[in-house]
Amino acid sequence: MSTQNVPPTRQQPTLLEAVAELEAVVAVGDDEGFGPALSRVGGLFGPADPAERRAAGPRLAALLPDAPPFPRAHLAMVVGACVESGADPVACAGPVLAGLRGALTGAQRLVEHWARTGGGPLPDHEADDPAEAHARIEHPEHLDPRQAHLAVVAWWTLHLWQQAAWAVYAHPPVRAEARASGVTEVLLELFDRYRGERHDFKGLTHLALVLDDEPLLVLDRPTGTGYLLRMSGLSDTFQLHTLLADVLIGGGHLPGLPQDPEVVALARTAFPDGRRLTATGAFNLVAPDGSWLWNEGTPSDVPLLDGVRTLVLEPLPYERSWSAGRFLPEVPGDLRLERVLDPAEAARLLARTVPGVPTAAAFG
């Protein structure tokens, strides 16, 4: 059979070729072509080899600021998937976290103008029509068409930005850079100010607050001893409390009953297997100024003293116990002892602290 007139089979484009096409679309401001080009990137993502996904991440992240508003969040999701495939998280994080900030601001604007225009249940991003929400909140004196559009887009896509932000915040270098640059502080303020009940930022808040490779000075008031430790990946103070008991009591430095090894494993790297294991309190955690630090908080609540997070251990005022585990099971935790302070150093540091004072509210 002759093959002279048979057209050659067109080879499927690679992921990076599709990324280049999307870059060209963004460069010329072709908003109508953006959606189809992004769909081609998404369709080629699954079959692509890991090296292509890693290379695609920073290139796609760089397109986020100039992408059209509605599909921008879907592009952020692809960036997050690239990071989960090994793309440089720091190179991808800036545009993703900036997008989350914009979405939080816009969604809060919708919440405020929804209340101003009659209140009632906020829109359901799956069941309701964005155009109807736009028509309701747009007002010539308060919210022009462009602002109303961005508020509606933000409300309908905020959950996607949360997922993309989670993908980058899962990496310690991103957490460190975002904290140092002030990005995390701004996002935490926006989380706290947000009043739209359809979005929950508790998990992302805990993730953003995780400290990595962070020195922790611990002073034990009953024995007068002191310890310099280093913590990483701890997402809640229950977890910190468990590991302090393991390192200091289990390590033979302080008196008391050591934690169950399985409880300790759940506070470090193990995943729950369906059994309900219980951790028991070993100390009262107190700040240098005498205020109590609650297990329900995060290790970032431990205040700095001379640039080092400093925690005082005092006797338990009452028995405490809690379900063993980590608030963020996806994030492994670690606490290790670096050195035992000499007695004179420990005494000097303890002298700068105030004993904890129980209050009625503490027992309420």
pLDDT tens-digit series, residues 57-74 = 999 999 999 999 999 999
DSSP 302-321: SPEETTEEEEEEE--SS--E
Mean pLDDT, residues 28-35 taken together? 96
The two structure tokens encoding residue 290: 């005498």
Residue 333, pLDDT > 80, answer yes
Q: In which band, very low, low, confident or very high, does the pLDDT at 364 lie, cut at 50, 70 and 90?
A: very low
Rounded distance, CA 340 to CA 164, Å?
A: 41
Name the average pLDDT for the chain: 93
Give the model confidence (pLDDT) of 116-150 as tens digits: 999 999 999 889 999 999 999 998 777 899 999 99
Provide the token pair at 92: 């991808």
Between strands 214-220 and 308-314, the pairing is parallel
Q: How confident is the model at residue 195 (pLDDT cuts 50, 70, 90)?
A: confident
d(CA 49, CA 47): 7
Lowest mean pLDDT among 14-23, 80-89, 98-107, 125-134: 125-134
145 in Cβ contact with 138 (< 8 Å) = yes
Query: Which residues are registered as beta bridge partners of 280?
Result: 321
pLDDT of residue 5: 56
pLDDT attached to residue 78: 98
For the CA atoms of 179, 231, 296, 108, what is the dihedral angle to 10 degrees? 20
Buried b (16+ CB within 10 A) or exposed e, 42-72: bebbeebeeebbbbbbbbbbbbbeebbbbbb
In the three-class reduction of DSSP (H, G, I as helix; E, B as strand; rest coil), residue 278 is classed as: strand
Backbone phi, then psi, for 281, in 5-degree steps? -70, 145
Q: How far apart are CA 263 and CA 284, in angstroms?
A: 19
* Tokens standing for residue 16: 């990076």
- Higher pLDDT pick, 242 / 359: 242
* Residue 9 pLDDT level (bands cut at 50, 70, 90): very low
Average pLDDT over residues 288-302: 95
Domain boundaries, the chain: 15-209, 214-363
At residue 6, the pLDDT reads 46
Helix (H, G, I), strand (E, B) or coil at 25: helix
Report pLDDT for 175. 97
Residue 1 has pLDDT above 60, yes or no: no
CA–CA gap between residue 162 and residue 157 (Å, rounded): 9
Give the pLDDT mean for 161-179. 97
Spatial neighbors of 219 by CB under 8 A, at least 6 apart, are: 225, 226, 227, 310, 311, 312, 313, 346, 349, 350, 353
Q: Identify the band that residue 199 occupies on the pLDDT scale cut at 50, 70 and 90.
A: confident
